[in-house]
Amino acid sequence: MNSRGWEKYFTERDRQHDAILGKREPKGFGGKPALLLIDIYYSVLGLKREPIFESMKTWPGSTGLEGWAAVDKTAELLAVARENGIPVIHVKGLHNGMKPWIHRKPQPSNLPEELRIKGQQIVDEVKPIEGELVIEKSAPSAFMGTPLLYHLTSLGVDTVICCGETTSGCVRATVVDGATHRFRMGVVEECVFDRTESSHWMNLYDMNQKYADVIFLETAKAYFERVGSKQKAAAAG
């Protein structure tokens, strides 16, 4: 197997442990996937494409150009999902005055109200279309306190493919909960993003070891296309 991006963050002890443990073989996916897009809105990207430290001057939570690169890859996968009849679910934060879950002291915001509201909107590159469910959440996990589990169950979904941000936060929390509910979980490496590189990569490694198959974009596209072909063949009789 080719080296993965997380390996450059290993300590020597980590390398020895990984060598003894061995490479984990992918668990694989089922025949009824859904695509889950997590927290892809303007406040974590900015309204224009800028390097992270420039973008943070206006949007302190920005993920910069790395985030936008992941959005572009997500848009590619989203198009394939739609072409092949894969259910698409969008998840975003609930902004209704409820006490936030985050534990650090919030930074004062100088954003005008108009920009603050814009920041809560899903970016145009992956915005929902008619028929796609949008779920609002008030916790890191997309499953906590939302109808996501019921929706997936009602569709007969057995596999959830995740994109979005942050890798170490809401993506990871959702993946852990999804695995707890016994879904086969997938994370598309090029389609998730974070604010810090080491946190991004080591959380990908950890999810791949325990909770999910971390796959490449081309693998995810091919999977959706295979499922779509089978569905079309079955419909044709």
By annotation, the residues acting in catalysis are 170
Residue 105: exposed, middle, or buried by beta-carbon count in 10 A (0-12, 13-18, 19+)?
exposed
> 60 and 74 in contact (C-beta within 8 Å)?
no
Distance CA(73)–CA(77), nearest Å, equals 7
The string of DSSP letters for 164-230 reads EE-IIIIIHHHHHHHHHTT-EEEEEEEEEE-SSHHHHHHHHHHHHHHT-EEE-HHHHHHHHHHHHHH
Q: In angstroms, how far is CA 220 from the centroid of its own chain?
A: 13
Residue 43: exposed, middle, or buried by beta-carbon count in 10 A (0-12, 13-18, 19+)?
buried
Query: What is each CA distance from 23 to 167, 205, 237, in whole angstroms?
Result: 21, 11, 41
Query: What is each CA distance from 42 to 25, 58, 126, 131, 154, in whole angstroms?
Result: 36, 11, 11, 22, 31
